[in-house]
Amino acid sequence: MLSNYYSKKKKVILSALGLNFLICNIRNLNKWFLMSLPALKCWVPVLSNLRQTNHLSLFKITIFFLIQVTPIPELFLTAVKLSHDNTGARYLHLAREDKNNLFSVQFRTTPMDSTGVPHILEHTVLCGSQKYPCRDPFFKMLNRSLSTFMNAFTASDYTLYPFSTQNPKDFQNLLSVYLDAAFFPCLRELDFWQEGWRLEHEDPADPQTPLIFKGIVFNEMKGAFTDNERIFSQHLQNRLLPDHTYSVISGGDPLCIPDLTWEQLKQFHATHYHPSNARFFTYGNFQLEKHLKQIDEETLSKFQKIEPSTIVPAQKPWDKPREYQITCGPDSLATDSSKQTTVSVSFLLPGITNTFEAFTLNLLSSLLIGGPNSPFYKALIESGLGTGFSPDVGYNGYTREAYFSVGLQGIAEKDIQTVRNIIDRTIDEVIEKGFEDDRIEALLHKTEIQMKHQSTSFGLTLTSYIASCWNHDGDPVELLKLGNQMAQFRQHLKESPVFLQEKIKQYFKNNQHKLTLSMKPDDKYYEKQTQMETEKLQQKVNSLSRKDKERIYEKGLELRTQQSKTQDASCLPALKVSDIERTIPFTELDVTLAAGEIPVQYCAQPTNGMVYFRAFSSLNTLPEELKLYVPLFCSVLTKLGCGILNYREQAQQIELKTGGMTVSPHVLPDDSHLDTYEQGVLFSSLCLDRNLPDMMHLWSEIFNNPCFEEEEHFKVLVKMSAQELSNGIPDSGHLYAAIRASRTLTPAGDLQETFNGMDQVRLMKRIAEMTDIKPVLRKLPRIKKHLLNCDNMSRCSVNATPQQMSETEKVVERFIKNLGRSKKERKTVRPHVIEKPAYNGSSGSTYVNGSQIIRKLITDPTFKPCQMKTHFLLPFPVNYVGECVRTVAYTDPDHASLKILARLMTAKFLHTEIREKGGAYGGGAKLSRDGVFTFYSYRDPNSIETLHSFGKAVDWAKSGKFTQQDIDEAKLSVFSAVDAPVAPSDKGMDHFLYGLSDEMKQAHREQLFAVSHDKLTDVSNKYLGIGKCTHGLAVLGPENAKIAKDPSWIIR
Catalytic residues: 122
User: 319: closest CA among 181, 186, 101, 510?
Assistant: 510
Can you tell me the distance from the alpha carbon of 807 to that of 724, in angstroms, rounded to the nearest whole number? Answer: 40
CA proximity to 783, closest of 645, 640, 631: 631
Amino acid at 383: S
Angle between helices 117-124 and 216-224 (to 10 degrees): 130
CB 797 within 8 Å of CB 988? yes
CA angle centred on 225, ends 219 and 229, rounded to 5°? 150
Q: Give the H/E segment covering residue 163.
A: strand 158-165
Q: Residue 307: helix, strand or coil by DSSP?
A: coil
φ/ψ region of 988 (left if φ > 0, alpha if ψ in -120 to 50, else beta) reads left
The one-letter code for the residue type at 927 is L
Helices (H), 77-143: 117-124, 137-141
Distance of CA 399 to the CA centre of its chain: 21
Q: Which amino acid is at 814?
A: R
Q: Do the Cβ atoms of 557 and 363 come closer than 8 Å?
A: no
H/E stretch holding 969: helix 964-978
Residue 997 three-state SS: coil
Alpha-carbon distance 684 to 799, whole Å? 11
DSSP-derived letter for residue 910 is: I
Q: Looking at this protein, which amino acid is placed at residue 910? A: L
Pick the closest to residue 983 from 429, 657, 428, 607 (CA basis): 607
Question: How many angstroms separate the most distant Cα atoms in the chain?
Answer: 85
Beta carbons within 8 Å of 35's beta carbon, 6+ residues apart: 18, 98, 100, 454, 455, 456, 457, 458, 981, 983
Between the alpha carbon of residue 725 and those of residues 10, 632, 708, 764, the distances in Å are 19, 12, 23, 8
φ/ψ (deg, to 5) at 777: -60, -35
For 792, residues 6+ apart whose C-beta sits below 8 A from its C-beta are 617, 618, 619, 620, 621, 786, 822, 826
**How far apart (Å, rounded) are the C-alpha atoms in residues 819 and 595?**
10
Rg (CA), the chain: 28
In terms of Cβ atoms closer than 10 Å to its own Cβ (0-12, 13-18, 19+), residue 1014 is exposed
Under 8 Å between Cβ of 737 and 881? yes
Q: In whole angstroms, give the CA distance from residue 332 to residue 727.
A: 11
Using CA atoms, how far residue 657 sits from 7, 442, 451, 641, 880, in Å, is 33, 8, 15, 15, 42
> Any idea of the CA torsion for 866, 872, 877, 883, to the nearest 10 degrees?
-10
Q: Are 206 and 150 in contact (CB under 8 A)?
A: no
1037-to-759, 875, 920, 933 alpha-carbon distances in Å: 16, 7, 13, 22
Quick check: helix, strand or coil at residue 396?
strand
Distance CA 139, CA 88 (A): 31
Contact criterion met (CB below 8 Å) for 144 and 167? no
